[in-house]
Amino acid sequence: MSNKKGLFKFLSVFLIISILAACSSNGGDDSSDSASGDPGAIKGEITVITQRTDIVDTVFKEYAKKFNEKYPDVKVNFEALSDYEGQIKIRMNTDEYGDVLLIPTSVPVADLPSFFEPLGSYDEMKTQYTGIEERMVDSTIYGIPVAITYSGVIYNKQVFKDAGVTEIPQTIDQFMEALRSVKANTDATPLYTNYAAGWPLTQWESDLTTVAGDVDYVNVTQPNSDDNFVAGQPHYDLYKILYDATKEGLIERDPTTTDWESSKADLGQGKIATMVLGSWAIDQIKGSATNPDDIGFMPFPTNAENVIVPLGADYNLAINVNSKNKAAAKAWVDFFIHDSNYAVEQAGSISAVVGAELPEILKEYGDKGVEFKTITASEEGQEGLVDKIDKEAEVGLWQPDFKKRIIEAGLGNRKESYDDIMKDLNDAWVEARKTVAE
């Protein structure tokens, strides 16, 4: 680590230790019992819909057995969707979308009350759970994160060692130098973009807070600024790394033929040095690694004085507002969040319950001044404003399109510069802000 920024104070992450029993409901459940009442009084049959097609018939069934030890009169059925976002969105055109499900990212925050059961007030739950403010409407919570993820760069330590990179790069220049060293001294791909898969490119947006060095930037500064993609601003600096790495030949040779599944194994086996991903991918990569201990995590490079790794919510677990067995559904949510250990064992992340420890892979940053923080919620009256501007502008902050455009420009396949792309995005942002604000 460079001495340029000196030592920073470490901020421990305090996550949660309470129970969903405090949550309230105003839905039409026939039973007045909740998960905090007599377990024997909770009966019925519920359907839990998940995106985890890989463990629905194994791990989830073990969860159900454990759940039934406490709630023997509740039958739990599981349904896994291979294209969760696309399939659940269609199901939600009816009332039949299970009893417990994950809130699709495509549902606007303002529309949550139409589809999901209120779980309690923010004031009641903020001392119990982390990340719940992301699915809040009028100070009412509609979902609890199945895990709290962190974002940055997953890298292969042995590749860095072979490349002569002896310190974890912190600044943007240091990171670019590390990639150049990998190219010069090893056969590994320095930075793998997963261009063909597309969706991994959306992971870069999660690191905006780190580049900004400010937890207020995403939801407070960004929606009130006309300089979102201007030189010197976080978005410009964030994606300039992608452009420069592409232009210098530091990414995969043929981005159009990338493969997500094989990329995990290639990173684990030292054929790839770095990928920009969330913590959810760490265990998957370790699972195919020659030596799991070779897999490390580093904060995304930043020139900011404070190095902040943003903590964000994974999918939020919620209850169908039309469920006929809300007491049983609440019991399952409570069990899954508190007793399944899904966040650690299956998501490779941190529990949303206050009091959870940092994973081992992060503990090395305890004396390096890295701060792990949740981003500031939107100001009152501006909830969902970033999404509204983004949709109006058709920028696609969380879509792969303009990231692919940047790569194509870096490869020379488009007759436009990086600054041309940034100006185009910023102009669209400015016009959208005017429209949305009116």
* Phi/psi at 242 (5° precision): -65, -45
Q: Give the span between the Cα atoms of 72 and 315, in whole angstroms.
A: 27
pLDDT at 21 over 50: no
- Residues 374-413 as b or e (16 or more Cβ within 10 Å = b): bbbbbeeeebbbbbbbbebbebbbebbebbbbbbbbbbee
The per-residue pLDDT for 1 is: 38
Percent of the chain with pLDDT over 70: 91
- CATH top-level class of 20-147+315-354: alpha beta
The Cβ of residue 274 has, within 10 Å, a number of other Cβ atoms equal to 26
- pLDDT bracket for residue 207 (50, 70, 90): very high
Helices (H), 55-105: 59-70, 84-91
Domain extents in the chain: 1-14+148-313+359-438, 20-147+315-354
* Phi/psi at 374 (5° precision): -80, 150
- Classify strands 148-156 and 295-298 as parallel, antiparallel or unpaired: antiparallel
- Nearest to 328, CA basis, from 16, 67, 19: 67
The per-residue pLDDT for 288 is: 87
Residue bearing the bigger pLDDT, 105 or 353: 353
What average pLDDT does the chain have?
A: 89
User: Distance between alpha carbon 375 and the CA centroid of its chain, in Å?
Assistant: 12
The per-residue pLDDT for 37 is: 58
User: Distance between alpha carbon 254 and the CA centroid of its chain, in Å?
Assistant: 27
- pLDDT bracket for residue 75 (50, 70, 90): very high
The per-residue pLDDT for 312 is: 84
The per-residue pLDDT for 3 is: 38
Helix (H) or strand (E) holding 266: helix 260-268
pLDDT at 267 over 70: yes
Return the structure tokens found at 424. 């185009």
The per-residue pLDDT for 378 is: 85
User: Distance between alpha carbon 141 and the CA centroid of its chain, in Å?
Assistant: 19
Q: Give the span between the Cα atoms of 342 and 317, in whole angstroms.
A: 12
Q: What is the DSSP string of 115-163?
A: HB---EEHHHHTTTBSSGGGGEETTEE--EES-EEEEEEEEEHHHHHHH
pLDDT at 20 over 60: no
Strands (E), 170-237: 189-191
- pLDDT bracket for residue 166 (50, 70, 90): very high
Q: By the 8 A CB rule, do 331 and 42 touch?
A: yes
- Classify strands 148-156 and 308-313 as parallel, antiparallel or unpaired: antiparallel
pLDDT in tens, 191-204: 999 999 998 999 99
pLDDT in tens, 223-266: 999 999 999 999 999 999 999 999 999 999 999 999 998 999 99
Q: Give the span between the Cα atoms of 291 and 351, in whole angstroms.
A: 26
- Say if domain 1-14+148-313+359-438 classifies as CATH 3.40.190.10: yes
- Residues 62-80 as b or e (16 or more Cβ within 10 Å = b): ebbeebeeebeebebebeb
Mean pLDDT computed over 333-358 = 88
Q: Do domains 1-14+148-313+359-438 and 20-147+315-354 have the same CATH topology?
A: yes
- pLDDT bracket for residue 366 (50, 70, 90): low
- pLDDT bracket for residue 18 (50, 70, 90): very low
The per-residue pLDDT for 66 is: 98
Lowest-pLDDT range, 38-42, 138-142, 295-299, 387-391? 38-42
The per-residue pLDDT for 438 is: 63
pLDDT at 348 over 80: no
What's the CA dihedral at 303, 367, 161, 263 to 10 degrees? -70
pLDDT in tens, 41-71: 999 999 999 999 989 999 999 999 999 999 9
Lowest-pLDDT range, 201-205, 248-252, 303-307, 381-385? 381-385
Return the structure tokens found at 178. 């590390």
